[in-house]
């Protein structure tokens, strides 16, 4: 069976998963509705995930959303193994790839929320090895040359991939 993957859907599903992982790592109790209408939003997640399965964007998905110490939504939809006709369950074990960026971004945003760093902070404040970094020049035939950046590389630059590093 051929599945179509769009970047938008993949990122949406990855972010939902990453939020669940971050929330789950802090410990949680039994399912309970979130305050301020969060339960209404969470109630729509299973149908939305099922729509991705029905459209064959993904074969199966497990979602978990927690708020504080409460599980707001936890559901499984689709197939864990299409060939074996095995349904996805809440405890299905499966390989997840390319989660480094969303998990790191969530960690950075949690630290920013706690006031432990700011997105505008130069990276060299936390990693001295970044002091004196050079970046790709902006235009034309010089774009392969390295130059001194206009400002110190910030956490925001790294998160938005705008630091002009040559990869």
pLDDT in tens, 113-137: 999 999 999 999 988 988 888 777 7
How far is Cα of residue 43 from the mean position of the Cα atoms in its chain? 21
pTM of the model: 0.46
Overall average pLDDT of the 74-81 stretch: 93
Q: Are 137 and 147 in contact (CB under 8 A)?
A: yes
Residue 74, classed as helix, strand or coil, is: strand
Q: What percent of the chain has pLDDT over 70?
A: 71
Q: Which of 14, 26, 51, 98 is catalytic?
A: 98
Confidence of residue 142 (pLDDT cuts 50, 70, 90): low
Query: How buried is 29 (Cβ within 10 angstroms: 0-12 exposed, 13-18 middle, 19+ buried)?
Result: exposed
Q: Are 48 and 7 in contact (CB under 8 A)?
A: no
What pLDDT is recorded for position 118? Answer: 93
Respond yes or no: is residue 98 known to be catalytic: yes
Confidence check: pLDDT of 33 > 90: no
């Amino acid at each position: 069976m051929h599945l179509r993957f769009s970047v938008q859907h993949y990122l949406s599903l990855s972010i939902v998963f990453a939020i669940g992982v971050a929330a789950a790592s802090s410990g949680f109790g039994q399912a309970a509705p979130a305050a301020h209408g969060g339960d209404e939003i969470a109630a729509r997640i299973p149908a939305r995930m099922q729509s991705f399965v029905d459209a064959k964007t993904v074969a199966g998905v497990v979602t978990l959303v927690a708020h504080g110490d409460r599980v707001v939504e936890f559901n499984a939809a689709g197939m864990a193994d299409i060939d074996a006709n095995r349904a996805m369950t809440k405890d299905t074990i499966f390989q997840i790839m390319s989660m480094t960026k969303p998990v790191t971004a969530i960690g950075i945003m949690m630290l920013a929320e706690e006031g432990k760093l700011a997105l505008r902070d130069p990276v060299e404040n936390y990693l001295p090895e970044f002091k004196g970094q050079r970046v790709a020049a902006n235009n034309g035939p010089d774009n392969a040359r390295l130059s001194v950046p206009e400002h110190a590389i910030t956490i925001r630059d790294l998160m938005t991939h705008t630091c002009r590093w040559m990869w």
